[in-house]
Homo-oligomer: A and B are copies of this chain.
């Protein structure tokens, strides 16, 4: 006998089929070489996400940055204070709605992201080779779709 006569009424999925766990494991796999790269630069994962978002979208209010970079506003406040002190971003209050703070990436901040691009693309290239470019694109399509269900 290798299994009970009656399975549990509400069995949980195997952890490899649990989306939260599978996403986390996949992210750890992917982040390994990227963490090695970041260790040689003056920013960490969170600051890199903030710079990537600003570099892509242009100046943004903090609430939008928090959503796009997956950070809570109190965390982002502290991170941006450090980044502003380091000259990576600048902040001005929005003249149209002075509750809002508009954050802009500085040339120094953009330079760090540009410096990462070579190493970053090399890491992705190796991953495409190991995993398959078609599968990688399909995976990114599905992840993008999934994000759209976030209201």
Contact of A27 among B20, B113, B142 (CB under 8 A): B20
Which residues in chain A, 1-25, are within 8 Å of chain B measured between CB atoms? 8, 10-25
Which residues in chain A, 86-144, are within 8 Å of chain B measured between CB atoms? 113-114, 116-118, 120-121, 124, 127, 130-131, 135-136, 138-140, 142-144
A interface list, Cβ under 8 A from B: 8, 10-32, 34, 49, 52-53, 55-56, 68, 70, 113-114, 116-118, 120-121, 124, 127, 130-131, 135-136, 138-140, 142-147, 149-150
Rounded to whole angstroms, the CA-CA distance of A114 and B10 in the bound complex is 8
User: Which residues of B lie under 8 Å from residue A138 when comparing CB positions?
Assistant: 138, 142
Q: Known contacts being A135-B145, A139-B139, A149-B131, is A20 close to B8, with CB within 8 Å?
A: no
User: Which residues of B lie under 8 Å from residue A113 when comparing CB positions?
Assistant: 12
Rounded to whole angstroms, the CA-CA distance of A31 and B21 in the bound complex is 10
Asked if B130 contacts A149 (CB within 8 A), the reply is: yes
Contact of A147 among B13, B16, B135 (CB under 8 A): B16
Asked if A114 contacts B8 (CB within 8 A), the reply is: yes
Rounded to whole angstroms, the CA-CA distance of A16 and B147 in the bound complex is 9
Asked if A121 contacts B34 (CB within 8 A), the reply is: no
Asked if B12 contacts A23 (CB within 8 A), the reply is: no
Asked if A10 contacts B52 (CB within 8 A), the reply is: no
User: Which residues of B lie under 8 Å from residue A68 when comparing CB positions?
Assistant: 15, 25
